[in-house]
Copies of this chain bind each other. A is one copy, B any other.
Amino acid sequence: MVITHPTNETYLYVGLEFDTVSDVKDCWNQIQTTGFDFISIPLANERRDCRQDDQNNGFSKDLLFEPSVSSDLELAGNIWSTAVLGKIHYYPSSTAEAIPAIEAYVRQQLDWAQHLNLRTSFVAVDVCWSEEQHIFVANMIASALISFPRQSICIRICIDGTWTDSQQNHHNYKKVGGGKVMHHWDIWNLYRQCCDYHPCLSVALECLDCARPSPSQLFFQQWLSEPVHYLILDTKIFLKNRQGFPVLSKSFQSMLSRFLPFSVSILVRGEARHPNGYASYLQYLGYLYSKQPTMEDSYRVEMPYFDYLQAPLQPLADHLDSQTYETFEKDPVKYRLYEEALIHCFQDRVRDDNVVVVMVLGAGRGPLVHAGIRASEQVGVKNIRIYAIEKNPHAVRTLKSIQRSDSRWQQIVEVMEEDMRYWNAPEKADVIVSELLGSFGDNELSPECLDAALARGLLRPDGICIPREYTSFLCPLSSPKLFQEIRGYKNPNIPSPFEIPYVVRIHHGQYLADPLPCFHFEHLPVVDTSSHSEDPPSSSSSSPCRHFRYRRLSFQVHGPIMLHGFAGFFEALLYDDIKMSTNPQTLSHGMFSWFPLLFPLSHPICCNDSECRVTFHIWRKVVPGKRIWYEWMLTEPITTPLHNANGHCYSMSSSTSTFS
């Protein structure tokens, strides 16, 4: 009876927590009837003698594990493995001597959880503990993650702030004197770093008695990129509406809305304070979920790609396949912007009946040719000739097939199977249109391709290039998830997975500052076209390394936060004031052709200060006619190794494709 969003077709899983279990079958039947999806139960039977042993910090030497349920037969195997979460019972030690017994006790519970095939076990930690107590527990969890490789551990941490004390007042812990109380995210960050970003470690945020939270911007920056798998809501945080039904405050609703897109599940706990019992809570959460806004189409298209790492395309070196063409042709915004740019351009240029020569460089399967035809019709251009230049023979086949079936194409389109960099054009163009931009603008070698074509004099001295110029942008990124993904990225040809840029739809990630401009390129007609050289473009009159770039970017990051890399975008000026942008600040809304380009850092960097200066250096290096690559490093807050030095992990081939 999982809650389903009426239009998005996404799911919300809601569970119910039991503090004690007298009969687990009863618990299960109860939530089945009510409609919850899962239960959380204690793994161990808390024995009275432990609780009373106050002299010893709540720890008894004879602490022996006794399961909370009589046997694994009480529930079916698939219920244990899919719908039951375990909660680990333990006391944080305040003395080193007590640790081995506590650790053994926790391991017995994990062993039992593993026997039951439970998906996840909760370990509650308390913001009142000293740093040393947290270090003991973090150490225990780091060891457990190694010895129980099939077990996921979820750290439960209360985010109520100063009201936290009530969280575990049923536990007999004592605060160790001296140590300062840690902030909730710092606590999680300690566990996470101690466990070295273990993929089986997640976090649950517990809201126990604060009905009207007022989370700061930093709160969301810190938590939204973390593996927050559960929000635990005590019934105490629910208000009553006029009919007496449980509801959440506005501020709670809006906090919840920020987390729901990250597939969190909700666990309800505490006493049911409504005559209908827990059903009213579930109903309300279902109602709330159904009121979440409907996703935009582009978001829906992008969902399967969330946090999925892709090596950047190399359309110059490799031929795109039919599926790739099809995906990109579906972009509802990109070709509209091109069409608009062409309309403005034709309006400006077409003053008589002279023929307008348009060259589409890299025509693919023709979307820009279509845009050119539509624009010319709209403006009423009488005389137009469109050259569709494409080096991929398979795409040329498509272009010719369109031409055969389309009389307008027959009249005005010339399909040429050519590499734009070496093509001897029969005439000069008024307008050159191309869509060679990658996620980072220049990373599919648009500068090299267009400049080679322009150097051959393809464009009239008063001609124009669409796009006319483009700039890449970068901003610092926090994404534990992507750090884990990259660490797990296996490719025997790549010496280090942290030294290549990835195209990725960043979902579990937070941008830590506004993007700053990085590399800029513009394409203007080459005026002196006297030397129609047969040499490759790399040795043309201008410097062979004119597309070398270096940029130093300094950001102010609001810490504490972990830095994992930099996200790259671009802004392109197509024509006039028509811009196409993947930069979040100036985004062309609804466009999905480009995901950000991620430049990872080989190690997570601590930005501890509330105003932490982050200085990034990036190079675009060129071996003319051979390859182009980026190198990057940090010098603040610390100096990192130069990533991808000499392009040893990743470079873009600028030599002619072997198949063209």
Contacts and interface: CB of A to CB of B under 8 A. Distances in A.
Interface string A524-557: 0000000000000000000101001110100000
Interface in A112-142: 131-132, 135-136, 138-139, 142
Interface in A141-175: 142-147
A436 B646 CA distance: 51
A190 B135 CA distance: 33
Contacts of A603: 603
Interface residues of A, number: 48
B642 A196 contact: yes
Given A196-B642, A641-B196, A617 B147 contact: no
Contacts of A194: 633, 639, 641-642
Contacts of A640: 193
A521 interface: no
A139 B548 contact: no
B548 A631 contact: no
B146 A646 contact: yes
A267 interface: no
A21 interface: no
A196 B648 CA distance: 14
A99 B603 CA distance: 28
A648 B193 contact: no
Interface centre among A104, A143, A189, A622 (most CB of B within 10 A): A143
A138 B545 contact: no
Interface string A89-117: 00000001101110010000000000000
Contacts of A145: 645
Nearest to A194: B642
Contact of A143 (B195, B635, B645): B645
A135 B193 contact: no
Tallying the copies of this chain within the complex gives: 2
B545 A142 contact: no
A146 B136 CA distance: 43
A548 B195 contact: no
A252 interface: no
A606 interface: yes
A619 interface: yes
Given A100-B548, A139-B619, A193 B631 contact: no
A638 interface: yes
Interface in A593-627: 603, 606, 617, 619, 621-622
A100 B622 contact: yes
Contacts of A550: 96, 99, 136
A617 B99 CA distance: 14
Contact of A139 (B97, B104, B147, B631): B631
Contact of A548 (B99, B143, B144, B635): B99
Nearest to A545: B100
A108 B631 CA distance: 21
Contacts of A645: 139, 142-143, 145-146, 195-196
B142 A101 contact: no
A88 to B, nearest CB: 17
A142 B96 contact: no
Given A190-B639, A645-B146, A617 B101 contact: no
Nearest to A548: B100
Nearest to A100: B545
Interface string A631-657: 101010011111001101000000000
Contacts of A639: 189-190, 193-194, 606
B549 A96 contact: yes
Contacts of A545: 100-101, 104
A519 to B, nearest CB: 11
A403 B147 CA distance: 49
A150 to B, nearest CB: 15
A543 B639 CA distance: 48
Contact of A147 (B136, B147, B642, B646): B646
Nearest to A551: B96
Nearest to A186: B639
Q: Which of A96, A147, A550, A617 has the most CB of B within 10 A?
A: A550
Given A96-B548, A100-B622, A642-B142, A135 B196 contact: no
A189 B641 CA distance: 11
A558 to B, nearest CB: 18
Contacts of A99: 548, 550
A457 B135 CA distance: 38
A607 to B, nearest CB: 11
A207 B333 CA distance: 64
Contacts of A195: 641-642, 645
A642 B197 CA distance: 11
Contact of A552 (B61, B132, B138): B132
A64 to B, nearest CB: 14
- Of A61, A100, A144, most buried by chain B (CB within 10 Å of CB) is A100
20 contacts: A97-B548, A99-B550, A100-B545, A100-B548, A132-B552, A139-B617, A139-B619, A142-B645, A143-B621, A143-B645, A144-B646, A145-B645, A190-B639, A193-B639, A193-B640, A193-B641, A195-B645, A196-B641, A606-B638, A606-B639
Given A143-B642, A143-B646, 11 more contacts: A61-B543, A96-B549, A99-B548, A99-B550, A104-B545, A135-B617, A136-B550, A142-B645, A147-B646, A193-B641, A194-B639
